[in-house]
Copies of this chain bind each other. A is one copy, B any other.
Amino acid sequence: MTYVKYELTLGNLLKSSTVRNPGQEIVDSEFGRTTFSKFGTDVTSLAKGLVKIGVKPGDKIGILDWDTINFLRSFYAVPMAGAILHTVNIRYPTELIYYTIQHAEDSYLILRDEIAKMFVEYKELFGFVKGWIIYRTSKEEINLPFNNVINFEDLLNSDENTPLPYISEDDTATLFYTSGTTGMPKGVSFTHRDIVLHAFSIANTVSDYPISLGSGDTLMPLVPMFHVHAWGLPQLFLLKGLKYVLPGRYNPEKILELMKSEKVSTTAMVPSILYMLLAAKNSSNILPSLNLRCIIGGGALTMELKNRAKSFNVTSIGAYGLSETAPLVSFSTLNSETWDLDDEEREKYEIKAGIPAPFVEIKILQSKSDIGTEVKKKFGEILVRSPYVAKEYYKDAEATKKLWAEGWLHTGDLGYIDEKGYLCIVDREKDAVKSGGEFIPTLILEDVVSLYDGIDRVAIIGKKDEKWGERPVAFYTSDNTIKKEEVDEFLKRFVEERRIEKFWMPDEYVKVDSFDMTSTGKVDKKKLREKYYS
């Protein structure tokens, strides 16, 4: 024999982690507690069970569930069986769930019984599905008249003797769909190596202040697993040997109770979930004593939200990424330029998209005009290279070509790098308002408008304008109706401070009862534009 390559696979990550911290706990609010060691055994059994029922390398297996231990087991077992786990977005409308399963051509589906019901009526559409792997949670027996129903629990108790296939780190491990602004969702897939390197890179970053993740911390993901691998947290907890608490289906009061009983110290979520937690009935009883540290991604962390969180003793920082980048590429942990700043100054950096994670290279495509704010930096489209980003859109050569134009991954976001090396997002390229030939970055504008007392949440979009091309209009939720003149007066100081330009100030303020949200908890500006300006 000679040298044997040791691959960066999910199977090897799992094996290594169970050896390192065998007795560490995984807690599922619904299914109870297990240890890394038992988890490893269960996952291996499940992988063998999948091979035994006929799963072949390269098969796609769709999964639809909330964040449970069974999802987590499948996350490792399916790729260990050589198959590709398609994490179906259960917050999609039914048609899109159907569409993505059909587009992926999933050979098997892993389903919680309640969720499986949604397929019964149209099961003829899924003739390509070779097996329906169901696990039971309901007390009432749900009738699921599919061809070849397999009990998930049976697979967990599989024959020890079935061999698992050899997995290369370059084999595809996962596939999921990301909503574009136009057209149907696009498929993005990642290899074992991508996912492992993402885990290493973020593990290295989140050990920095003020997240300071390390021995003794307990991690609870508040990002669903169907949303870009729950941002890599299902690998991070294993790599770092941390106790992991799965929240199941989201219910803010229940989540807070679970945080309290399990002493959760660290979490990650989109801004709307943090708003929801802070507004929960039991938040002021529970949060202050937890000393919670929270990574915010999938949308801007505003100073208003950071301050609100701080009043509950919750430390929050911004992070940035997208489906195509696995997802996280930057974190606003502190670096050599910011760790000596005083609190107030430092917190201004903690709400940014942050400094690039190790081995992430970020370039700004400077085709856009100067935004002329206090930072005096050019902004442009954010381009990314890293060892763990998506190589293509699944079965979509045209979109892939655009994604990788000029050999850089195009994020579709506008931003700049500030004087201390922090990435700052100014807008989605498609959401920016173009007025008189200049871009008005709505995220920066929303950040300052949201500081006005009478406003609860705000979203700014462009309205066609004969003279200027487009002009910004602010939609907001509030108990009161606000007066434009008063907000204008309030915004003056930000113009003076050069945080915004005078011509950015919204022309109108429109009160709405609520906003349509995307499946990732952001205001759906596409819908807002359609509703008011199409």
Interface residues of chain A, those whose CB is within 8 Å of chain B, are 1-8, 12-13, 15-17, 19-24, 36, 197, 200-201, 203-204, 207-209, 212, 214-216, 239-241, 333-337, 339, 355-356, 358-361, 385-387, 389, 391-392, 400-401, 404-408, 421
Is B387 a contact partner of A8 (Cβ separation < 8 A)?
A: yes
Query: Looking at the complex, which one of B12, B200, B360, B389 makes contact with A200 (CB distance below 8 Å)?
Result: B200
Is A391 a contact partner of B20 (Cβ separation < 8 A)?
A: no
Is B200 a contact partner of A209 (Cβ separation < 8 A)?
A: no
- Distance of A114 Cα from B431 Cα, bound (Å): 64
Q: Which of A7, A21, A386 neighbours the largest number of chain B CB atoms within 10 Å of its CB?
A: A21
Query: Looking at the complex, which one of B1, B336, B406 makes contact with A241 (CB distance below 8 Å)?
Result: B336
Known contacts: A17-B358, A406-B1. The answer to whether A421 contacts B6 by CB under 8 A is no
Query: Looking at the complex, which one of B6, B240, B400 makes contact with A386 (CB distance below 8 Å)?
Result: B6
Residues of B within 8 A of A361 (CB): 6, 12, 15-16, 19
CB distance from A13 to the nearest CB of B (A): 7
Residues of B within 8 A of A386 (CB): 6
Nearest opposing residue in chain B for A408, CB measure: B4
Residues of B within 8 A of A339 (CB): 215-216
Query: Looking at the complex, which one of B12, B212, B241, B407 makes contact with A359 (CB distance below 8 Å)?
Result: B12
Query: Looking at the complex, which one of B1, B24, B204 makes contact with A336 (CB distance below 8 Å)?
Result: B24
Is B209 a contact partner of A335 (Cβ separation < 8 A)?
A: no
Residues of B within 8 A of A6 (CB): 359, 361, 385-387, 389
Query: Looking at the complex, which one of B2, B214, B336 makes contact with A212 (CB distance below 8 Å)?
Result: B214
Q: Could you list 14 A-B pairs, sorted by A, with CB under 8 Å?
A: A1-B406, A1-B407, A2-B400, A5-B387, A8-B197, A15-B361, A22-B336, A22-B337, A204-B239, A204-B240, A208-B241, A214-B214, A215-B339, A216-B339
Nearest opposing residue in chain B for A200, CB measure: B200
CB distance from A293 to the nearest CB of B (A): 13
Residues of B within 8 A of A17 (CB): 358
Besides A4-B408, A12-B359, 16 more A-B contacts (Cβ < 8 Å) are A1-B404, A2-B407, A3-B404, A4-B407, A6-B389, A12-B361, A15-B361, A16-B361, A17-B358, A21-B336, A200-B200, A204-B239, A207-B240, A209-B214, A215-B339, A239-B358
Q: Give 9 nearest A-B pairs by CB, closest first.
A: A24-B336, A21-B336, A1-B407, A209-B215, A3-B391, A200-B200, A23-B336, A4-B407, A207-B207
Is A215 a contact partner of B204 (Cβ separation < 8 A)?
A: no
Is B16 a contact partner of A358 (Cβ separation < 8 A)?
A: yes
Residues of B within 8 A of A24 (CB): 335-336
Nearest opposing residue in chain B for A354, CB measure: B20
Is A19 a contact partner of B421 (Cβ separation < 8 A)?
A: yes
Residues of B within 8 A of A204 (CB): 200, 203-204, 239-240
Is A20 a contact partner of B214 (Cβ separation < 8 A)?
A: no
Known contacts: A355-B20, A359-B13. The answer to whether A1 contacts B405 by CB under 8 A is yes
Residues of B within 8 A of A240 (CB): 204, 207-208
Residues of B within 8 A of A359 (CB): 6, 8, 12-13, 16
CB distance from A401 to the nearest CB of B (A): 7
Nearest opposing residue in chain B for A406, CB measure: B1
Residues of B within 8 A of A385 (CB): 4, 6
